[in-house]
Amino acid sequence: MKYLPMLSLLTLATLISCGTTGTTTPGAETPPTNNQNLHPAGWIPSLGAPAEASKDAETVLEPINEYDWYVLTYINELRTNGSIDGHKLEDVMYLTGGTQAKETINYCYKEINFKPGTLHPLSYSRAATFIAKSHHEYLQVNGLERDLDVMHGEQPGKPKYTGTTITERANNGTAQTTGQKMVRVLENVQFGVLEDNVAFFDFKPAPMAKIIARQIVASYGRSPGHCMSMLDANVTHFGSSTINGPYYNANGRYFAGQSGVQVFLKTK
């Protein structure tokens, strides 16, 4: 039995501007810098590399984990090649969701005039990662619900509160980590049950982190809004917070599988 993950999305744009261009190999190392915009387009830190320093000494940043590394790598592959782990997204959509799912991704491509090879890859951002992880922690502690205001908003006074809106959280997160100003931010939220039968993906068996990353990126393809966030031409950086395992929501209902928050960002 296949379970479709619950998806939620919020987009905020305060300025539309073209991002940087160029490519680099995901995982390639460059010297640490406090200005995230100095990293080349497509830069993702290597697994095991130490986290870069934060502007705010009290803000602790962790090294990128395997789950998030694959999520971000596959998003960049989708942006530049239109594929996930070597499989075209429209083909994956047909395998996982039939004709309707394939039509959804084609609608997304048409709406934003997306063509593989025309979109720049995104660079890993300490700010976007901090924003994603902070909100993910809030959702884990206070509960995951279908209501968009709950999934994308936070209430003052509750544990792990970092900002009422994505705008406030993004401004706070960039100020704490890089000292830069947020000019555009998009947020995807997902939680649901992992389909661990990799055969329907037509992928070869792989480590769990890769399977979950495939699931997340492909699942966002089911929703035009989430798809457009991943393929937005005006953001330059991204971050992710992904976990695999059981968790409970505020009403005590049990969900097994993966959950995650991805943040797409442009700063100056």
Backbone angles phi, psi at 105, to 5 degrees: -65, -35
**Minimum mean pLDDT range among 175-179, 189-193, 219-223:** 189-193
pLDDT tens-place string over residues 91-148: 776 655 667 777 888 888 888 888 888 899 999 998 999 999 999 888 878 765 555 5
Backbone angles phi, psi at 73, to 5 degrees: -65, -40
Question: Average pLDDT in the 9-28 region?
Answer: 30
Q: What is the 3-state secondary structure (H, E, C) of the chain?
A: CCCCCEEEEEEEECCCCCCCCCCCCCCCCCCCCCCHHHCCCCCCCCCCCCCCCCCCCCCCCCCCCHHHHHHHHHHHHHHHHCEECCEEHHHHHHHHHHHHHHHHHHHHHHHCCCCCCCCCCCEECHHHHHHHHHHHHHHHHHCCCCCHHHHHCCCCCCCCCCCCCHHHHHHHHHHHHCCCCEEEEEEEEEECCCCCCHHHHCCCCCCHHHHHHHHHHHHHCCCHHHHHHHCCCCCCEEEEEEEECCEECCCCCEECCEEEEEEEEEEC
pTM over cut 0.85? no
Looking at every residue in the chain, the average pLDDT score rounds to 74
Q: What tokens appear for 13 in the block?
A: 């744009």
* Alpha carbons 30 and 46: distance in angstroms, whole number: 10
